[in-house]
Amino acid sequence: MSQNEARSQAVFEITTGEPMVVDKPKSLEEIWASDVFTLLKMEEALSKSAFKAMKKTIDTGAKLDPEVADDVAMAMKTWAMSKGANYFAHVFYPLTGASAEKHDSFIVTESSGKAVTEFNGSLLTKGEPDGSSFPNGGIRQTSSARGYTFWDPTSPVYILDTANGATLCIPSVFVSWTGEALDKKVPLMRSNSAMNEAGTRVLSLMGESSVAPLNSSCGAEQEYFLVDANFASMRPDLLLAGRTLFGAAPAKGQEFDDHYFGAIPERVQVYMEAVEEKLYKLGIPAKTRHNEVAPGQFEIAPYFEAANVAADHQQMLMTVLKNTAKNHGFVCLMHEKPFAGINGSGKHVNWSVGNATQGNLLDPGKTPHDNLNFLLFCGAVIRGVHLYGPLLRAVIASAGNDHRLGANEAPPAILSVYLGSEIESIFEQIREGTLDNTSESGIMDLGLSQIIPFPKDAGDRNRTSPFAFTGNRFEFRAVGSQQSVSGPLIAMNTMLADSLNWIADELQAELDKGIEKPAAVVAVLKKLMTEHGAVIFGGDGYSEEWHKMAVEERGLKNLPTTADALPYLNDPLIQNLFETTGVLSPVELKSRYEVYAEIYIMSISVEAKMVAEIAKTYIYPAAISYLSELTQTNESASALGINLDTSTVKTIAEECNAMMASVNKLIEISEKEDFASTDEHMQYCATEIRSLMDEVRAHADVLEMEISDEKWPLPKYREMLFIK
């Protein structure tokens, strides 16, 4: 075996490991939502009136009576203890994008010393974690670290089974003692209410006699990579940064496209089934799974749910993917770009809004041209993306996603809207002030009698658009794979609320003039299209021409890095958007900017340190050791009058010197601390530090191709991507 010993040992263990013994998958009835305190279980456990009150809170957001909360708490405790849980935890979603939980036991001791279990409405409703270590962007000083969690009754509680036992998990919001939102759930819920209010205004003006509460929904497609744990544990960059900071491209990458939708490897399929079983128990409707474009890359997509619940479920799904991977000898990488030169991972956030009376308001139906509600809501999205494109870009900004957006395989960093040919032509007609009929999409007839003819979709897909209409929803495709879906959902709901309010005002003015409804709608949308139609784009979003046209002719913003995008959170337009809709106060918004900027700067600093360390302690020693072997051999050979080829020696020596020069420069410039502003510090990371990291890597990757395989200390791309 001609490999570095540790690497060859890893390959040996992977390829000779015992196949996993798998139990037959359990039936869906047996496991579906078995670890969730569902409405059904609640109905069985609660009195009629208590259940009715809970249901009303869930459906309409009505306030819950403390006495009912006591009843609910009692029922939850009984159920949870019957499932083996002795602990409960308020689970909340701090600005780090992760989930956090503080566990408390049901146990209390009485004065007699006897231990009993206790759980009541107030314990269910309110918790007080010592939140001083969570980022708050200046809202709280550490010395006044009080933070509270409050139960969110609209997201179901569940049992989380871990090796340490079972815990009753209670989805909660997280706020400071002054009442500011420190999390992602509060603004998500507020954005939904703002959208509901504005949408109801529009629908009432449209003459709808009954309008049920509007809710946003979300179905997120999650991409991820699986790498064998034996390899991952030998890659300090994967462990600490979640991505490879070094690695030469393998001879075969993804150019054959032979992985996409290919047969799922057996070991991976076993893993996926284990993941799905856990998700089903948690009531998370995992629906599709397949191989993705890159070798070693996969996707899972649950069926869509109400946005608030979907966001909680998405966090759980990421945890389950990671934890289950451990049991199967994998590491699940959710970084946006774990491997250079290989497709990155995104999270497509499918989003729509609807209610029980009007249905999905982004569903055009069979005759979109006379579906006025649809046109208004779709128009509202167009206006929102045009006005608040930089906000949408800012909420998906992260050190990881920088490597994806703007590169040639992911949605561009320019926010435009793809509508599909049919809907686009309707909006173009509206812009011209003529809306007559729509082109029929027709029937797809393959001329094969055994294949049932199908109605054609109203438009093709466009994989290059960051924000695409896909038949009855919008798909925000530029979201990063490890990001929480809450940020994007908050931005989309809020921009929609703002646009729907604008539409309601304009519509009201038209109707007041005595104009008929259809004509009034066309007039409002014509104005909307004149002002905001520039954001609609159906062409190739990856092309050079688009990048030029978007910026120069259409006035759209191209924001390639987080350092370019995040400062928009301080833009008065965006501040005003959040303030007028009541979603985030200026203080809350500012704190988000501070926290995300700090995370960005820290992520790049950690990577820079790793680059220097790996270059110095792994790559340089390997290169020098090989060099000394070669030079000694050359010397002995020339003593015998044999002149060996010296090109490798020269290349290695040159690349080694160049790499170390870059490393030293990187270390030196990383020490800079005096920045005029956070914006400037972010730019410094995005440009100066990153370009030196790339320089170091470029030399190291050349060395990888020159040095004897036997001496190379890091698992190679071909091993991590292809050996399962």
Contacts (Cβ under 8 Å, ≥6 apart) of 56: 62
Q: Applying CB under 6 A, does 701 fall inside the site for ligand ADP?
A: no
DSSP string, 122-134: HHHHEE--BGGGS
For the window 124-143, what string marks contact with ligand ADP as x by the rule CB under 6 A?
--------------------
Residue among 273 and 579 whose Cβ is closer to ligand ADP = 273
Strand 297-302 and strand 330-333: the pairing is: unpaired
Q: Applying CB under 6 A, does 481 fall inside the site for ligand ADP?
A: no
Assigned token pair, 449: 């009698």
Assigned token pair, 580: 């007028």
CB 344 within 8 A of CB 225: no
Residue among 219 and 296 whose Cβ is closer to ligand ADP = 219
CB 158 within 8 A of CB 79: no
Assigned token pair, 300: 């899972």
Residue among 66 and 262 whose Cβ is closer to ligand ADP = 262
Long-range contacts of the stretch 57-63 (C-beta < 8 A, 24+): 57/153, 57/154, 58/153, 58/154, 59/213, 60/213, 61/154, 61/193, 61/213
Q: Applying CB under 6 A, does 620 fall inside the site for ligand ADP?
A: no
Q: How near is the Cβ of 87 to Mg ion at its closest, in Å?
A: 38
Q: If DSSP states are collapsed to H, E and C, what string results for 398-426? A: CCCHHHCCCCCCCCCCECCEECCHHHHHH
**Summary count for the chain: helices (H), strands (E):** 24, 19
Specify the length of the chain in residues: 724
Q: How near is the Cβ of 478 to Mg ion at its closest, in Å?
A: 12
Q: How near is the Cβ of 463 to Mg ion at its closest, in Å?
A: 9
Residue among 203 and 559 whose Cβ is closer to ligand ADP = 203
CA nearest to 722, candidates 15, 2, 127: 15
Instruction: Give the residue at shortest CB distance from ligand ADP.
Output: 219
Q: Applying CB under 6 A, does 261 fall inside the site for ligand ADP?
A: no
Q: If DSSP states are collapsed to H, E and C, what string results for 208-274? A: CCCCCCCEEEEEEEEEEEEEEHHHHCCCHHHHHHCCCCCCCCCCCCCCCCCCCCCCCCHHHHHHHHH
Strand 359-360 and strand 297-302: the pairing is: unpaired
Q: Which of 177, 303, 454, 722 binds ligand ADP (CB under 6 A)?
A: 303
Q: Applying CB under 5 A, does 347 fall inside the site for Mg ion?
A: no
CA atoms within 13 A on the CB side of 189: 19
- Residue 304 interface partner, choices Mg ion, ligand ADP, none, CB cut-off 5-8 Å depending on type: ligand ADP
Q: What angle do CA 66, 67, 72 make, to 5 degrees?
A: 95
CA 374 – CA 681 distance, rounded (Å): 44
Q: How near is the Cβ of 348 to Mg ion at its closest, in Å?
A: 4
Q: Which of 34, 120, 360, 425 binds ligand ADP (CB under 6 A)?
A: 360
Which part of the chain contacts ligand ADP (CB under 6 A), choosing from 127-135, 153-161, 214-222, 245-253?
214-222
CA nearest to 135, candidates 604, 684, 590, 670: 590
Burial 407-421 (b: 16+ CB within 10 A, else e): bebbbbbbbbbbbbe
Q: How near is the Cβ of 509 to ligand ADP at its closest, in Å?
A: 31
- Residue 473 interface partner, choices ligand ADP, Mg ion, none, CB cut-off 5-8 Å depending on type: ligand ADP
Q: Which of 47, 105, 288, 434 binds ligand ADP (CB under 6 A)?
A: 288
CA 182 – CA 138 distance, rounded (Å): 11
Q: Applying CB under 6 A, does 472 fall inside the site for ligand ADP?
A: yes
Which part of the chain contacts ligand ADP (CB under 6 A), choosing from 69-77, 216-224, 426-434, 708-716?
216-224
Q: How near is the Cβ of 99 to ligand ADP at its closest, in Å?
A: 20
Which residues in the 201-230 window bind Mg ion by CB under 5 A? 221
CB 584 within 8 A of CB 592: yes
Q: Applying CB under 5 A, does 348 fall inside the site for Mg ion?
A: yes
Residue among 103 and 289 whose Cβ is closer to ligand ADP = 289
Size of interface with ligand ADP, in residues (CB under 6 A): 16
Q: How near is the Cβ of 218 to ligand ADP at its closest, in Å?
A: 6
Instruction: Give the residue at shortest CB distance from Mg ion.
Output: 348
- Residue 219 interface partner, choices Mg ion, ligand ADP, none, CB cut-off 5-8 Å depending on type: ligand ADP
CA 147 – CA 152 distance, rounded (Å): 16
Residue among 70 and 221 whose Cβ is closer to ligand ADP = 221
First and final CA of the chain: distance in angstroms?
A: 19
Q: Applying CB under 6 A, does 12 fall inside the site for ligand ADP?
A: no
Q: Applying CB under 6 A, does 217 fall inside the site for ligand ADP?
A: yes
Q: Applying CB under 6 A, does 345 fall inside the site for ligand ADP?
A: no
CB 2 within 8 A of CB 710: yes
Q: Which of 243, 473, 690, 699 binds ligand ADP (CB under 6 A)?
A: 473
Q: Applying CB under 6 A, does 304 fall inside the site for ligand ADP?
A: yes
- Residue 117 interface partner, choices Mg ion, ligand ADP, none, CB cut-off 5-8 Å depending on type: none
Q: Applying CB under 6 A, does 350 fall inside the site for ligand ADP?
A: yes
Strand 158-162 and strand 286-291: the pairing is: unpaired
Residues that bind ligand ADP in the complex, under the rule CB under 6 A: 217-219, 221, 288, 301-304, 348, 350-352, 360, 472-473
Residues that bind Mg ion in the complex, under the rule CB under 5 A: 221, 348
